[in-house]
Structure formats: structure tokens, C-alpha cells
Amino acid sequence: MKLSENFTLPEMCKSQTALRKEIDNLPKDPDVVTKLQTLAEEILQPIRNKFGPTVINSGYRCKKLNTAIGGSKKSQHCLGEAADVEVPTVSNRDLAEWIKNNLDFDQLILEFYNGNDPRSGWVHVSYKSQKENRKECLTITKQGYSYGLS
């Protein structure tokens, strides 16, 4: 199933951990699929249109998979509202800045970017289609988190 021009449902559900642990990570709730489609249309496709090929490191996570990887109990990944992304030709810092300045989003987190290696870390971005998006920006490092992109 295509979620947008360049993103599919299987791509948003792929997980090496799910494969290894034989976890069925396809959403059963049609509302989750609708949210994944909105995420693809409002966030992922605009990134792809601007920068080219975009890698989804983690999209949808069923609760069993989310628990297996140690994810937060309140993770928007479980709702179909979040993805962890990278663009091979753009630093994660620059990607996060572009999203911040050009897209509507609920939460944007520059995760484990070290400032030395442009490929370090990844960008978590979420989108809520039925509520007002918070436009919350965070940076997470080994030392903890801070507000804003640093």
C-alpha cells in the first residue's frame, strides 16, 4: 500500500528487531494506517521532494516491538504519528533545521548528533493530524535532553 508518492506501508513498518523476534509489526487499526499516510504526506514526502532519497530508520512500532526495543510507553511511533529519518546527502542537523523552518510538526528531536560527524544520530519527527501540533524542538545526547536544536 502506498502512503504517498514515495513511501509505502511496509517501509514504515520494517524493523530488524521485529524480524529477529518474529513480531508482526503491521498495524491492525485502520486509524493507525490513516495517521501513517498523513505523516508520509505532510512530513516525509516534503523531505523527499526537497532532498531526494530519505531513509526511514523507524516508523510504526506495535506495542510489542516498542517494548522489545525499550521505547517510551507514550511513543508516537505506536500511534503511527512518528518516524526516525535520515537523508544520506544532508547532515542530520541541517535536516532538523529545514524541518523546523519549513514544515508543521508536533515534535522534532535531533537525537545523538555529535556535532563532528554530519551522519551521526538521526531526526525524530512527529505529526498529529487531529490536534494542534506543538512545534516542540529537542536535542537528545548521551548527557540527556535540552529544548531547542543545539
- Measured CA to CA, the distance from residue 69 to residue 84 in angstroms comes to 14
The pLDDT of residue 148: 77
**Looking at the predicted structure, is the pLDDT value of residue 131 above 80?**
no
pLDDT in tens, 77-130: 999 999 999 999 999 999 999 999 999 999 999 999 998 898 899 999 999 987
Domains of the chain: 9-147 (3.30.1380.10)
Q: Are strands 107-111 and 82-86 parallel, antiparallel or unpaired?
A: unpaired
Task: Report whether 139 contacts 109 (CB < 8 A).
Answer: yes
Q: Which three cell numbers stand for residue 4?
A: 504517498
In this prediction, residues 57-77 reach a mean pLDDT of 95
What are phi and psi for residue 135, nearest 5 degrees? 55, 40
What is the torsional sign of CA 85, 123, 68, 39?
negative
**pTM of this prediction?**
0.92
